[in-house]
Amino acid sequence: MRVEGTDYRTVIMEGSTVRMVNQPMLPLRFEFIDLPTHHDTARSISSMIVRGAGAIGAAAGYGMAQVALEAPDGPEFMDYVQAGAETLRQTRPTAQDLFYAVQRVLDAIGGADSVQAARQAAVETAQAMADENAAAGQAIGELGATLIPDGANILTHCNAGWLAFVDWGSALAPVYVAARQGKRVFVFADETRPRGQGALLTAWELQGEGVPHAVIVDNAAGRLMQTGEIDMVIVGADRVAANGDVANKIGTYEKALCAADNDVPFYVTAPTSTLDARSPNGATIPIEERNADEVLHVTGITDAGEWARVRVSHAQAKARNPAFDITPARLIRAIITEKGIHAPHELPLEASR
């Protein structure tokens, strides 16, 4: 995607160093951070420097390439590789793309006949996955744009734009393609508490693309559906179970319920790498619970243009912070992958294996 006239990818690898957009600095500052080791890359995933299933998967793939490059020669090579794989797996439990990427690079390493060949296979496989993620985002955009009528008002939740992928994104990709086709589109972006990805990231992306938009509080979407101001909902996914149940950012399930009650089409976008054939339904998907401080504090930009963190509850308050919820397949009109537009019970699961 383009930022101030320059094309970027969200995450890349140069030599043995992973470079990614430092998402917590947006929208105040657009910058890249360098991650020289797989431990640095793992920390970037767990601390949410990189966010979004596709970008997390690409980062994990590159992290595995770093593992292979760092591993010592000889019999200790595979021990180091397996330990590195486990370090990366432990970073975020819900995002299927992460586990897909780690396993795919592991398989490539295991199929090599020498340490040097294993290192080369790891780097090539990680790069191939990043390229595939970017291509999947573009394909999702082109397919999803066929569902967007001219003049549509679209609700999104969390950030599933190019920052959440290597390029293009999932939920925002159809919006970008539709806008570039000349369709008039307007986006309502949920703020997405507690991390504010919609307010901080989605709105920044839409502004850069020149797409008209408004940030709304998470609880406003139902009202806007009741008044006919939202024509469709498009969200991303962190994992899709075999039966079409979807794990996505907390609050997605509530939006799906509101959409169903008001006969508003609810679409999920996800590359096939996000499909999990081994999870029969949403109840089997692990849900990450993050630190309560994310709920009890808000970080934002002051009028002076500086980051500030403030507490929003009393000092002894406790909080719960599940990061994702499950939207049942029955509430989903269709799931859009790079392979096509699918009924939730007709997913191309063979592509995810």
CA distance 237 to 256: 13
> How many domains does one find in the chain?
2
| 256: confidence class by pLDDT, cuts 50, 70, 90 | very high
> Which range marks the domain in which residue 253 is found?
149-352
Domain end point (choices 73, 103, 138): 138
82 domain-assigned: yes
Residue 126 sits in a domain whose CATH number is 1.20.120.420
Which tens digits make up the pLDDT trace of 135-147? 999 999 999 999 9
Domain-embedded: residue 144: no
The answer to whether the predicted template modeling score (pTM) of the entire model surpasses 0.85 is yes
Instruction: List, for residues 265-282, the tens digit of each pLDDT value.
Output: 999 999 999 999 999 999
Q: Is the pLDDT confidence value at 343 over 80? A: yes
Tell whether 143 is covered by a domain.
no
Does one domain contain both 125 and 158?
no
Of 138, 172, 199, which one is at a domain's C-terminal end?
Answer: 138
pLDDT in tens, 74-129: 999 999 999 999 999 999 999 899 999 999 999 999 999 999 999 999 999 999 99
| pLDDT for residue 104 | 97
Residue 200 pLDDT > 90, yes or no? yes
pLDDT digits (tens, 9 = 90+) for 23-52: 999 999 999 999 999 999 999 999 999 999
Any domain includes 55? yes
Long-range contacts of 181-185 (CB under 8 A, 24+ apart): 181/145, 183/145, 183/148, 183/149, 183/150, 183/151, 183/152, 184/150, 184/151, 184/152, 185/148, 185/151, 185/152, 185/153, 185/154, 185/211, 185/212
The CATH number of residue 239's host domain is 3.40.50.10470
The answer, yes or no, to whether residue 353 has pLDDT greater than 90, is no
To the query of whether residue 107 is one of the catalytic residues in this protein, the response is no
| Predicted confidence (pLDDT) at residue 351 exceeds the cutoff of 80 | no
User: Which amino acid appears at position 234 of this protein?
Assistant: I
The residue out of 103, 138, 173 marking a domain boundary is: 138
Whether 172 and 287 map to the same domain: the answer is yes
**Confidence at residue 4, expressed as pLDDT on a 0 to 100 scale:** 83
Give a yes or no: residue 329 inside a domain: yes
197: in domain: yes
In-domain check, residue 241: yes
Question: In terms of domains, do 70 and 169 share one?
Answer: no
Assess if residue 86 is contained within a domain: yes
Among 167, 190, 238, 276, which one carries the catalytic annotation?
238
pLDDT at 319 over 80: yes
Please indicate, yes or no, whether residues 175 and 309 belong to a single structural domain of this protein.
Answer: yes
